[in-house]
Every structure is written in C-alpha cells, then in structure tokens.
Structure 1
Amino acid sequence: MNEDLRICFIGDSFVQGIGDPEYRGWVGRVLTATGPGITAFNLGIRRNTSADVLRRCWPEVEPRLRPDTDNRLVISFGSNDAVVENGDVRVGRARCLDNLATLLTESRERAIHPLVIGPPPVVDAGAEHLRRTAELADDMADLCDAREVPFVATTRQLADDPVWTREAAAGDGAHPGSGGYQRLAELILESRWHAWIARPTL
C-alpha cells in the first residue's frame, strides 16, 4: 500500500449512509476498521442509478486524486436501477451491467484500482424487487470475476439479516440504522477488503 492512499466511494444512498444516526454509514465503519493513512471521499447520492453514477464519476473523482498516489475507486449501485417507475425499471439489467463494465474499463485506463460492492436489498420494495436486485448482483459478480475485480456480495446476505431488515422496516423501509450499516461493513471487511487494500489488482 502506498503511503498516500486515496479512495473515492461512489454510488447511491447506501454509500452515503442515509438513515445512520451516527452519520458514518458502512463507509465510515470500514475506514475506521482499516486504520489511518487513508484519504477518503464519500460520493454517494440518494436515488442515484448506475447511469447517474457513470455520468458524474470522473468529473467528481479525478479532481480528488493525484497521479503520484495509490488511487482507488469503490463502486456500489443497483438497488435504484431495479426500482419500477412508470411501469418499467429505472435502468434495465443489461444497461446497468454495461455501465459497470464501462466504469471498470475507464478505471483501469486511468490506473485506478476498482472494487465493487453489490446492491443492498430494499426491504419495503417487495419480493420482485429483491429478485431483480439479486439477479443483477449475480451478473455483476460474474462481470467482476471476468475482469479480475473484487466483488462483495450483499443482497441476499442482508435480505436474511435480522438487524438490517428490522432497522430498515423501522425507518423509511430502505435504509437501516447504525446496526444495519455495521452488518454491511462486516460483510465487506470479512470479504475482499483487506486483501484489496494491501495489494489491489489492476
């Protein structure tokens, strides 16, 4: 790991940490568990889809990085893509995967090391939304595996997690409190995070 490690976290409201009374979300908890020496930027925006993230990624990320540093990008989206509005999903699965593939390609063109966090479930969105999100997450995992990019699965794990589901149901139906974000942080930390921090794939 370079002494000057910079990580941009880009995505939706789960990245932003909406609902956490401690205002840390999973990003803050993962960073706390990782240790000092990281310059981090939370670029999560509520209701963002993969198309929104693709559109704003580089105008927001590039000014925060330096050519002589260890630059990383954590990408997380998909839950909003699978939401039905006006009779159709906001972003179809094929387009979402194309957006992710584009971001991974453009990351490597810029010598930025990516990691992808799968889309968390939205508790009050129903079984069909969970099915769509889980299928999308599986395809995202396959894409990342083919690109040798680490992927952290969260959808089914959190859908079955009593802390996540209880806190989300007690809140706005989508976002958990501090306990749910702690569970998401634990999934990330127990998966590919530390290996990626120590030695990213590019």
Structure 2
Amino acid sequence: MNEDLRICFIGDSFVQGIGDPEYRGWVGRVLAASGPGITAFNLGIRRNTSTDVLRRCWREVEPRILPDTDNRLVISFGSNDAVVEDGNVRVDRAHCLDNLAELLAESRKRAIHPLVIGPPPVIDGGAEHLRRTVELADDMAELCGSREVPFIATTRQLAEDPIWTREAGAGDGAHPGSGGYQRLAELILDGGWHSWIAQPTA
C-alpha cells in the first residue's frame, strides 16, 4: 500500500452512515480495520441517486486528491435510484448503469482506482423495491466485471441478514443501527477490501 493513500467514499445515506448511534457507519468501521496510512473523505449525502452522485463527484473529489499520490474512489449508490416517486422510479436501471459507466471511465482518465459497493436493501421498500435493487446490483456487478473494476455485493446478503433487517425495521425502515453497519462492513472487508487497498495503482 502506498504510504499516502487517499480514499474518497461517495454515495448516499448508507455511505454517510445515517442511523448509526456511534456515527461510524460502514465507512468508519472499514477504515478502523484497514490500518494506518489512509486519508479518508466521506462524501455520502442522504437521498442521493446515481445522477446526483455523478453531478457532484468530481468537483468534490478533485480538491481531496493529490498528484503523485495513490488516489482511490469508493462508489456506492442505487438504493435511491430504485425508489418509486410519483409513479416512476427515480432513476431507471439503464440510466443508473450509464452513470456508473461514466464515473468509472472518468476515474480511469484521472488515474483514480475505483471500487464499487452494491446498493444495500431498503427493508420497508417491499418486495418490488428489493427486486429492482437486486437486478440493478447484478447489472452493476456485470458492468464492473467488464471494466475490471472490483465490485462487492451486499443486496441479497443484507436482505437476508437478521441484524440488518431487525435494526432497519426498528428504525426508519431503511437504515440500520450499529449492528447492521457492522454486518455491512464485514461483507466489504471479506469481499476483497484488503486486496484492493494493497493493490498498487498504475
């Protein structure tokens, strides 16, 4: 790992860690398990879709990276894209995938090494929201695979996780407490996080 490793985490309220009484979310827990030498920036914003993230990404990331440094970008969105408002999904699946593709292409152009975390499920969204989110996550994984970008799946695993579902149900229906975020952090750590941060960038 580069001695000066900078990681920007960009996405929605799950990236921000909403609902965690410890104010660490999964990002804080993953970083705590990653050792020293990382400068991290949490750029999660509640209710953000992939379109929102794409719109603001580079103006927020650019001031936080340095030339001749190991710059990384963790991207996680999709749960809000799949929400139905006024009879329509907020961002349809094809548009979300286009947004992700553009982020990955721009990351490569800027020599920033990306990692994509799949969208967590929204427990009170019901079966249809879960179906849309699972389908989106599968397509995101396929897109990342075609670009040789690591992807860590979370949707199905958390939808079946009793800690995540119990805490989210007891809260606002979407966001878990500390136990749920710990489960998400474990999925990410076990899903290839350490090998990703250890991989030298070109």
TM range (shorter): over 0.9
Q: Amino acid of the residue matched to residue 176 of structure 1?
A: P
Offset at residue 192 of structure 1 (A): 1.3
1:40 match: 40
1:48-101 Cα deviation digits (max 9, x unpaired):
000000000000000000012100000000000000001000000000000000
Residue 201 of structure 1 deviates from its aligned partner by: 6.4
Aligned residues with identical type, % of pairs:
86
Q: Is the 8 A contact 2:70 2:201 kept in 1?
A: no
- Equivalent-residue separation in structure 2 for 1:120 and 1:201 (angstroms): 28
Maintained 8 Å contact 1:12/1:48: yes
Which stretches in structure 2 are left out of the alignment for 5+ residues?
none
**Is this contact kept in 1: 2:10–2:53, CA < 8 A?**
yes
Distance 1:105 1:200, change over 3 A: farther
- For residues 195 and 145 of structure 2, the distance between their equivalents in structure 1, rounded to whole angstroms, comes to 15
Indicate the RMSD between aligned Cα atoms, in angstroms.
Answer: 0.8
- What amino acid sits opposite 1:98 in the alignment? D
The structure-2 alpha-carbon separation of the partners of 1:171 and 1:52, relative to structure 1 and needing over 3 Å to count, comes to: same
Letter in 2 for 1:153: A
Q: Is 1:154 matched with 2:154?
A: yes
Measured in 2, the distance between the counterparts of 1:55 and 1:103 equals 10
SS for the counterpart of 1:60 is helix
Q: How does 1:83-94 map to 2 (within 5 A)?
A: 83-94=83-94
Secondary structure (helix, strand or coil) at the match of 2:33 reads: helix
Q: Distance in 2 between matches of 1:66 and 1:178?
A: 33
Q: For residues 69-84 of structure 1, what are the structure 2 equivalents within 5 Å? A: 69-84=69-84
SS at match of 1:9: strand
- d(CA) in 1 for partners of 2:40 and 2:180? 22
Amino acid at match of 2:34: T
Deviation (angstroms), 1:200 = 5.2
Structure 1: distance between partners of 2:168 and 2:73: 27
Q: What is the rounded CA distance, in whole Å, between the counterparts of 2:200 and 2:191 in structure 1? A: 14
Following the alignment from structure 1 to structure 2, what is the Cα–Cα distance between the partners of residues 181 and 38? Answer: 20
| TM-score between both structures, scaled by the size of structure 1 | 0.99
Extract structure 1 runs of 4+ deviating beyond 4 A: none
Stretches of structure 1 lacking an aligned partner (at least 5 in a row): none
Q: Work out whether residues 81 and 91 of structure 1, in 8 Å CA contact, stay in contact via their aligned partners in 2.
A: yes
* Secondary structure at the counterpart of residue 126 of structure 1: helix
Residue aligning to 2:15: 15
CA contact (8 A) 2:25 2:181 kept: yes
Counterpart-to-counterpart distance in 1, 2:2 and 2:162? 38
Write the letter of the residue equivalent to 1:100.
L
